[in-house]
Chains A and B, each alone.
Chain A
């Protein structure tokens, strides 16, 4: 990238209320929400819960009836709404691309409003298209109608990022996509966010999307208030009330699996050896370990074979090529859910886990996964007790 991108800034909503004329109850009621810089915060809830209204008040597409919204410490009331919005990326469902403008022209709108010169805009457009995974020379001059839904949404994200805003608002951006494109775009959003660290406010009614994307999740309830604002793991392990529980539905442990990365839990350690290691020494180590098997690694520490005491008994010299080839391995960046799938399909009860360059890092068995989930739950419970204690004390 040519220029370092602008990092996210904190956003704070203070007692924000929105009452629409003619509406019975206010759409949003005295809402307090603090969003840390560089986080993805997902507003999630059923339709009519005020999540979109809340989001649209941040860029003043809807003016709050009362209360204050601070963006990087500045009240949004003090900034001209049009200027404010040029520095807040905005992505909506089905992208909202202008159909009569080319892809490049769509992306160029905000830089044009900001008065960038042509060359800088053209460079920026190509850079953004590459960033969102679209080949500039192919897509620059096409019209949105010619793109698939997923491609349109990529352009939508590129347009929102055009002027490198610190804040991004996304209103059900992937809602209209098929499940495969949707999942792919979610993954890419997370990967982009790793690099960009924008502050992203994301609205969805899909709790799984919220759990996957959110650093924090605000679960909202009609009319217009937040029931629980917490990290995904905490929401899963400690839903604030029956409403949240109902909204989460069944399968919170399964969801916890999909939230946790293999590399984040404590792995099994098994005896391992290189091919040229002395068989008798390896056998001795296996007996010390007690499980009766070991992993054979190649010169780059990549797992090759499992050997058991039966393989090595009475063998002289190096371990060599004896043993059973491993049926697969699990990358440390995989989620526990994927790992579980691998485990269930594997020929062995235990599967090696690999890190960078497929090098051995540990091993995983069903028991390891179970222990991990239990310890996560215990940790969350402990955190909650601590916080409750603090709240009572202070």
Chain B
């Protein structure tokens, strides 16, 4: 039988189009243009010996690459720890330990970043992985907290509906809770990324390289151009990664939510 009477109670409104046109890529192009202009400028103006040592192209590119590596590894580490931890801490049985875990993560962010890097370097040794560890401790919180908040804000009735129609607990997590939490989680990841790009500048203090080298060199040798180049490149990197994060957020967020 068919009850078509109320079928067209209200015509459905078409989904809004997601802007995929060219102006999405405009911001990163601008950022890249700024970086290119900065580097081009340093290659054209006359430099003294100290400046040349810090501003020659291979040196700058190597430092940039090191910086990216620092950010990449620390962020991957954060994801590998914060996502499972956030999931575990929001399961009903483990809610008791949640405040302690959050306090620990808060502590990581509360300690001044420079102090953390130096402390870790004293405790362990100088180098790339120590810097990655410090970045991890410093930027764990946003992703962890957003994972938890994202999962906790899922309407409990949806979880109930999922269990009620026969999904397992894992099934509800994978098919309902995580997809619904994706936007919040990704915004946490984005914060972690940007935080890492900025903080990775400190890695230079313990000989882990990165664009921080330019800043410390610029400060200690009183060469403002070197200092400014380092700052601009870090800022551009942060903006580009933030843009990528925004893009990921838009593409990975489930449709039908907003």
A114 CB to closest chain B CB (Å) equals: 8
Docked pose: A146 CA to B256 CA in angstroms: 8
Docked pose: A98 CA to B154 CA in angstroms: 11
Docked pose: A83 CA to B163 CA in angstroms: 11
Docked pose: A367 CA to B176 CA in angstroms: 59
Q: Contact check, B3 vs A132: say whether CB atoms are below 8 A apart.
A: yes
Please name the residue on chain B nearest to A151 by beta carbon. Answer: B9
A254 CB to closest chain B CB (Å) equals: 28
Q: Contact check, B166 vs A61: say whether CB atoms are below 8 A apart.
A: no
Please name the residue on chain A nearest to B182 by beta carbon. Answer: A100
Q: Contact check, A146 vs B161: say whether CB atoms are below 8 A apart.
A: no
Docked pose: A50 CA to B167 CA in angstroms: 25
Pick from B2, B161, B180, B255: contact of A96, CB under 8 Å = B161
Within 8 A of B (CB), among A248-264: none
Please name the residue on chain B nearest to A134 by beta carbon. Answer: B7
Please name the residue on chain A nearest to B162 by beta carbon. Answer: A98
Q: Contact check, B165 vs A130: say whether CB atoms are below 8 A apart.
A: no
The interface residues of chain A lying within 8 Å CB-to-CB of B6 are 133, 150, 154, 184, 188
Docked pose: A256 CA to B92 CA in angstroms: 47
Q: Contact check, A92 vs B157: say whether CB atoms are below 8 A apart.
A: yes
Within 8 A of B (CB), among A83-100: 83-87, 89-90, 92-94, 96-100
Q: Is B221 an interface residue (CB 8 A)?
A: no
Please name the residue on chain A nearest to B180 by beta carbon. Answer: A100
B226 CB to closest chain A CB (Å) equals: 49
Counting residue pairs across A and B whose Cβ atoms lie within 8 Å, the total is: 107
Docked pose: A154 CA to B5 CA in angstroms: 13
Render B161-182 as a binary contact track against A, CB cut-off 8 A, 1 for contact.
Answer: 1111111100100011001100
Docked pose: A93 CA to B161 CA in angstroms: 10
Pick from B2, B166, B176: contact of A82, CB under 8 Å = B166
Q: Is B8 an interface residue (CB 8 A)?
A: yes
The interface residues of chain A lying within 8 Å CB-to-CB of B162 are 98
The interface residues of chain A lying within 8 Å CB-to-CB of B161 are 90, 92, 96-98
A88 CB to closest chain B CB (Å) equals: 8
Q: Contact check, B164 vs A133: say whether CB atoms are below 8 A apart.
A: no
Please name the residue on chain B nearest to A127 by beta carbon. Answer: B2
Q: Contact check, A82 vs B167: say whether CB atoms are below 8 A apart.
A: yes
Q: Contact check, A101 vs B8: say whether CB atoms are below 8 A apart.
A: no
Docked pose: A135 CA to B2 CA in angstroms: 10
Pick from B8, B15, B167: contact of A113, CB under 8 Å = B167
Pick from B4, B165, B166, B257: contact of A100, CB under 8 Å = B257
Q: Is B158 an interface residue (CB 8 A)?
A: yes
The interface residues of chain A lying within 8 Å CB-to-CB of B12 are 138-139, 142, 146-147
Within 8 A of A (CB), among B115-167: 157-158, 160-167
Given the known interface contacts A99-B257, A139-B12, the answer about A86 and B165 at a Cβ–Cβ threshold of 8 Å is yes
The interface residues of chain A lying within 8 Å CB-to-CB of B254 are 100
Per the CB 8 Å criterion, the residue count for chain A at the interface is 49
Within 8 A of B (CB), among A106-165: 109-110, 113, 130-135, 138-139, 142-148, 150-151, 154, 159-160
Q: Contact check, A150 vs B255: say whether CB atoms are below 8 A apart.
A: no
Q: Is A309 an interface residue (CB 8 A)?
A: no
B7 CB to closest chain A CB (Å) equals: 5
Q: Contact check, A188 vs B9: say whether CB atoms are below 8 A apart.
A: no
The interface residues of chain A lying within 8 Å CB-to-CB of B168 are 82
Docked pose: A138 CA to B3 CA in angstroms: 15
Q: Contact check, B9 vs A113: say whether CB atoms are below 8 A apart.
A: no
Docked pose: A286 CA to B15 CA in angstroms: 68
Pick from B9, B163, B175, B180: contact of A85, CB under 8 Å = B163
Within 8 A of B (CB), among A147-203: 147-148, 150-151, 154, 159-160, 169, 184, 188, 191, 195
Within 8 A of B (CB), among A294-348: none
Within 8 A of A (CB), among B1-22: 1-10, 12-13, 15
Given the known interface contacts A133-B3, A188-B3, the answer about A143 and B255 at a Cβ–Cβ threshold of 8 Å is yes
Docked pose: A98 CA to B168 CA in angstroms: 16
Q: Contact check, A144 vs B2: say whether CB atoms are below 8 A apart.
A: no
Please name the residue on chain B nearest to A109 by beta carbon. Answer: B165
Please name the residue on chain B nearest to A156 by beta carbon. Answer: B161
The interface residues of chain B lying within 8 Å CB-to-CB of A130 are 2, 4
Please name the residue on chain B nearest to A86 by beta carbon. Answer: B166
Docked pose: A178 CA to B12 CA in angstroms: 19
The interface residues of chain A lying within 8 Å CB-to-CB of B164 are 59, 61, 85, 90, 92, 96, 169
Given the known interface contacts A96-B160, A132-B3, A142-B12, the answer about A109 and B167 at a Cβ–Cβ threshold of 8 Å is yes
Q: Is A365 an interface residue (CB 8 A)?
A: no
Other than the given A59-B164, A135-B4, A138-B8, 12 more pairs (CB < 8 A) read A83-B166, A90-B165, A98-B158, A99-B158, A100-B256, A134-B7, A142-B12, A143-B255, A147-B10, A147-B12, A151-B9, A195-B1
Residues of A within 8 A of B (CB): 1, 59, 61, 82-87, 89-90, 92-94, 96-102, 109-110, 113, 130-135, 138-139, 142-148, 150-151, 154, 159-160, 169, 184, 188, 191, 195
User: Please, could you name 18 A-B residue pairs with CB atoms under 8 Å apart, sorted by A?
Assistant: A1-B1, A61-B160, A83-B166, A85-B165, A87-B166, A90-B164, A92-B160, A98-B176, A113-B165, A135-B7, A135-B8, A142-B12, A143-B256, A145-B256, A146-B15, A148-B9, A159-B165, A191-B3
